[in-house]
Amino acid sequence: MMRLKGKIALITGGANGIGLATTERFAKEGAKIILWDVSDKGNNVATRLKKENYEVVFKKVSVSNKQEVQKAVAQAREHFGRIDILINNAGITKDRTLLKMSKEEWDDVIAVNLTGVFNCTQAVAPIMKEQNYGRIVSASSNVAIRGNFGQTNYVATKSAIIGMTKVWAMELGRYGITANCIAPGFIHTAMTDLMPEEVRKESIPHIPLGHWGVPEDIANGYLYLASDEASFVSGICLTIDGGAAR
């Protein structure tokens, strides 16, 4: 049984890493996919999945650009008629310690990771309200809870995601819309591959399961919260980090 059969899912940052794993998993679970990414790789992903008889529409969208987001949401609704699921997955890092962080590094991460989530949710929520149905799932991080050296900007955004999610659960629940987020721990992606090797090695003793996760682990979490199995789950942050202590 496909858990998302007939559902229309908008996935931001859907061409790489966790987003790609989510795009593939949702398609296999019966969803029709609106794939957004700033990378042209999204074209290749959509083409490949179409050859496998999945319905995927790719649009190059910068979530930090409100007008671009609103236009793309309108086009998606015109194409599919509705939007059932929003996965706010797009995100970037520009790490630097507090005393060295530039205004540009701060502004860029805030624009994508926080304002981008706001832009997408504000654009999609009215459609979900009209449908009296919706699933909003956003990407937080386990560093939102414990902090992380050199990530003032990133942690600020991921902590804010948890707060916004709780607000949206309160505001939108009356319209049949759930709002949740996921806090991944260390996951093998192109982004985390850029981390220093010693940092990656030092993380392992703090993960009780003894290894990092893979993008599919997070895609599974997105799938649960986006499915009707989670119809009474709202306002939570699901941590998927192998039991990491810090």
Phi and psi at 208, nearest 5°, equal: -50, -35
Helix axes 152-172, 103-110, angle to 10 degrees: 30
E strands, 68-200, in order: 85-88, 134-139, 177-184
Phi, psi dihedrals of residue 131, rounded to the nearest 5°: -75, -20
Q: Taking a C-beta distance cutoff of 8 angstroms, is the pair 112, 92 a contact?
A: yes
Q: Which residues contact 176 (CB under 8 A, 6 or more apart)?
A: 128, 131, 132, 133, 134
Whether the Cβ atoms of residue 154 and residue 143 lie closer than 8 Å to each other: yes
- Catalytic residue positions? 154
How many Cα atoms within 13 Å fall on the side-chain side of residue 58?
A: 23
With beta carbons less than 8 A apart as the criterion, state whether 240 and 184 touch.
yes
**How far apart, in whole angstroms, are the C-alpha atoms of residue 115 and residue 155?**
14
For strands 8-12 and 85-88, give the pairing: parallel
